[in-house]
Structure 1
Amino acid sequence: MRRRRDHGLSLVFAGLLVLALVGQAVSGLAGVNDDARDHGLPTVGMGEYLASSSFAVDVAENWQSEYLQFLLFILLTVWFVQRGSPESKPLDKVGRESDEDQKVGRFAEPGSPRWAAVGGWRRRLYSHSLGLTMGLIFLGSWVAQLVAGRAAHNAEQIRDLQAPLGWADYLAAPDFWSRTFQNWQSEFLAVGSMVVLAIYLRERGSPESKPVGASHGATGVEG
């Protein structure tokens, strides 16, 4: 019970992810089969749909936009601050900060990660490991969207007796960039709204909110 409590947040989000994927699969399959019947084509089963480019591109385009959101937020909050927002660092902490602030090298504590205490490439790598990982996942998801999106688009082209597109043509096609920008704008709106709304609004007990009684001007303070 204690272990589940200690990891409750990640477990809940993992469960929500599975439920959302199931919902997407069920509704997506229904949509694909409705479209197939409209065109006089055979319907597909769940297994075939889950292995299809149609399902893959929908998942990949959402994942890449989410990881782009976190990558940009991680990097931009190093250098940019927002007065009054708990999503911002304190106004005097702009930049990479000192070794003492970051608790690295001789300022490392007994419980610090081992690579924080050492020097050289290991500390440099660990100092940017979160951004690098988010960036790699974003690029992987973006490439997966490109591959699956081209396959799904060409399947529609062939069904409509039109010529399929090559890699360069699809990369420049409206279909690819429409899907991409549609997801990016929603992520930028969500993050920007959170940064600004958290200046004036509160959620008691949440680390994403300031304490209920904190002033609107308090910056980098968590509840």
Structure 2
Amino acid sequence: MRRWLWFNALALVTFGAFLLFLVLQSVFGWQMRNEQLVQFGREPASYWVYLGSGHFIEAVFENWESEFLQMGSYVLLTGYLVQRGSPESKPLHQTDRPDDYPEAAGANSPAFAKKRGLAYVFYRNSLSIVLFAGFFLSFALHVLGGTADYNEVQKLEHGAPPVSPGKFVTTSDFWFQSMQNWQSEFLAVGALIVLSIVLRQHGSPQSKPVVSSDAHTGE
């Protein structure tokens, strides 16, 4: 067990933090929404009802949407673009790697890496495909949750009739939510790419070795 924990510590800590913060988000969001309901003379909702509300669904998936967009774009762009001096970049003059082709597959290579045709094409692009699939799924759930929350707020504050998801997507409210997350994600990635040219973190694979020159680009 100790060996398994050691080998999987990075994933366990990051997903553990994710679950902790998700639960805390739901608790504080539930309290905030009930405060709003009381202000409008409505009965507070139970915690379990809140988890299925548009307010919670929208808040969760508008953030997931931006994270998957960030990582999918980062994985795809680093396959084609370079940044001199950054460990986040592939070497400046590397166009492709021999290990990216079935001819280089060995006994321990994944089964799909040894195939040809569409299965191989999908597998060699599977990381960005799955990340962008997460983006589109989160985007759709953001729209649905956002529509439900928008309609509830409009009804509470103005007694306005509900709008459809298609109509909600055309509102500035929806795109404000998306852009405030998207811009911050690309700022974070850009900062990592550029700061890692001149700054170091001992022991991290996201950093160059401490003694490497600033011009040294990733392997």
Q: With structure 2 as the length reference, what TM-score do the two structures score?
A: 0.95
Q: Does 1:175 align with 2:176?
A: no
Deviation of residue 53 (structure 1)?
1.1
Q: Conserved in 1, the CA contact under 8 Å of 2:72 and 2:128? A: yes
In structure 2, what is the Cα distance between the partners aligned to 1:198 and 1:130? 23
1:145 to 138, 142, 147: 142
User: Which residue identity is paired with 1:34?
Assistant: E
Tell me the equivalent position of 1:27.
Answer: 28
- CA deviation vs aligned residue, 1:119-177 (integer Å, no higher than 9, x gap): 21221111111111111111000000001100110111122211222233211001110
User: Which residue identity is paired with 2:139?
Assistant: W
In structure 1, what is the Cα distance between the partners aligned to 2:116 and 2:188? 38
Helix, strand or coil at the partner of 1:78: coil
In structure 2, what is the Cα distance between the partners aligned to 1:118 and 1:170? 44
Q: Does 1:17 align with 2:18?
A: yes
Tell me the equivalent position of 2:155.
Answer: 158
Helix, strand or coil at the partner of 2:79: helix
Larger mean CA deviation between 44-53 and 145-154 belongs to 44-53
- CA deviation vs aligned residue, 1:65-104 (integer Å, no higher than 9, x gap): 000001100111111100000110000114xx15x242x2
User: Which residue identity is paired with 1:188?
Assistant: F
Tell me the equivalent position of 2:106.
Answer: 109
Q: Conserved in 1, the CA contact under 8 Å of 2:99 and 2:105? A: no
Q: Does 1:136 align with 2:133?
A: yes
Aligned CA-pair RMSD? 1.1
State how many pairs are aligned. Answer: 217
Q: Does 1:188 align with 2:207?
A: no
Deviation of residue 109 (structure 1)?
2.1
In structure 2, what is the Cα distance between the partners aligned to 1:14 and 1:111? 28
In structure 1, what is the Cα distance between the partners aligned to 2:132 and 2:81? 19
In structure 2, what is the Cα distance between the partners aligned to 1:49 and 1:166? 21
Identity of aligned residues (%): 39
Q: Conserved in 1, the CA contact under 8 Å of 2:53 and 2:148? A: no
Gaps of 5+ in 1: none
In structure 2, what is the Cα distance between the partners aligned to 1:70 and 1:51? 27
In structure 2, what is the Cα distance between the partners aligned to 1:59 and 1:38? 24
Helix, strand or coil at the partner of 1:188: helix
- CA deviation vs aligned residue, 1:186-214 (integer Å, no higher than 9, x gap): 10100000000011111100001111111
User: Which residue identity is paired with 1:2?
Assistant: R
User: Which residue identity is paired with 1:134?
Assistant: L
Q: With structure 1 as the length reference, what TM-score do the two structures score?
A: 0.94
In structure 2, what is the Cα distance between the partners aligned to 1:17 and 1:105? 36
- CA deviation vs aligned residue, 1:33-84 (integer Å, no higher than 9, x gap): 1111222211112111111111011000000100000110011111110000
